[in-house]
Amino acid sequence: MPRFDSAYAQLDLIRQPEMAKQEPLFAFDAADEYLLSHLAEQGLPAGARVLVLNDGFGALAISLHGHYEVVSSGDSHLGALALAKNLTRNGLPFDAVTLLPASEPFSGEFDHVLVKVPKTLALLEEQLIRLQRHLKPGAMVVAGGMIKHLPRAAGELIDELIGPMQASLAVKKARLLAARYVPREPIASPYPSRYRLDAPALELVNHANVFCREGLDIGTRALLPHLPRNLNHARVADLGCGNGILAIATALENPWAEFTLVDESYMAVQSARENWHAALGNRAVTLRAGDGLAEQAPNSLDLVLCNPPFHQQQVVGDFLAWRMFQQAHKALVPGGGLMIVGNRHLGYHTKLARLFRGVEQVAANPKFVVLLALK
């Protein structure tokens, strides 16, 4: 595993969740290197207050620890786990960097902000809007990303919300978008967004980084009519819950069942919590940001519902889905079931058959299949 070297530190970093040794994915990229190189050239005073946004696995925040007062904020619980593990891996206390989930507001003022441009531009927009009240006059906001993942709209948001934006030259296929903050009248955030469903009749709140924020995704739409009834006192988990619709729709039909909703996105859990209470009042529920069902006790669930993700940040693949299937198998009681929806071409039926004793196709359309795997 290559080390991450910068003007600030030499670090040994891992991704979270950890991948097989043969996987060619690193815990940093050229945009991280470029951001730190640019900051070193700025000559920021020692002890300055620096905010790091969307730091994938801690490369930026850990490098700057000991040089500045660093606050790291992002929407990924896996990123938070990576930050803690990589701090320890490099001989620092696991809580040496102040961590602020994206669902929580900023506090105080910042001298400088480093941003890794996220996959969801709505998250960047929300972060920049929130930042307007927390930047010192003249503070620099510098965003970085690999050029192939850096849309023009990212620069337009910085220009609109922070100040005149300048794009850097490309270095190792990475580019920076920099702006000095010009105080202005803060604008109201358009987030969270809301949309209505007819069946079940609900209005759903969706914070900025929630998957399919503007409307129900077609995979979930394919699964909803087939959610189980007559669950009695079953213990049910909504794995990768997003805004919570799978659990909420199932709970409305199963008043005695117990529910756990978990997602690695803090904003997803925030959305699910608000939607659960709007639909079900004070009915007991467990909601948490987590690494899937890694914290769930073995043999403690009767049913797991899941619309698995097919990417982590910019990386596309079924690695996370396969890991979620393994976690579900471990957490389910013998005879328990995992109900999923997935694109036909992903071949989840074959993958699930490697773990479960039986896999049944519950429903299908030209694009999606709904599967029930029994332990």
Q: Is the pLDDT of residue 295 over 50?
A: yes
CATH topology of domain 4-180: Rossmann fold (3.40.50)
Q: Which residue from 114, 121, 112 is spatially nearest to 152, judged by alpha carbons?
A: 121
pLDDT higher at 309 or 221? 221
Residues of the chain with CATH 3.40.50.150: 4-180, 193-374
**Tokens matching residue 62:** 């850990």
- Please name the residue that has the structure tokens 């199932």: 250
pLDDT, tens only, 141-199: 999 999 999 999 999 999 999 999 999 999 999 999 999 999 988 889 999 999 999 98
Please state the pTM of the whole predicted model. Answer: 0.94
Q: Is the pLDDT of residue 224 over 80?
A: yes
- What is the percentage of the chain residues whose pLDDT exceeds 70? 96
Query: Which numeric CATH code is attached to 193-374?
Result: 3.40.50.150
3-state SS, one letter per residue, for the chain = CCCEECCCCEECCCCCCCCCCCCCCCCCCHHHHHHHHHHHHHCCCCCCEEEEECCCCCHHHHHHECCEEEEEEECEHHHHHHHHHHHHHCCCCCCCCEEEECCCCCCCCEEEEEEECCCCHHHHHHHHHHHCCCEEEEEEEEEEEEHHHCCHHHHHHHHHHCCCEEECCCECCEEEEEEECCCCCCCCCCCCEEEEECCCCEEEEECCCCCCCCCCCHHHHHHHHHCCCCCCCCEEEEECCCCCHHHHHHHHHCCCCEEEEEECEHHHHHHHHHHHHHHHCCCCCEEEECCCCCCCCCCCEEEEEECCCCEECCEECCHHHHHHHHHHHHHEEEEEEEEEEEEHHHCHHHHHHCCCCEEEEEEECCCEEEEEEEC
Q: What whole-number distance in Å separates Cα of residue 264 and Cα of residue 242?
A: 9
Quickly state the pLDDT bin for 311 (edges 50, 70, 90): very low
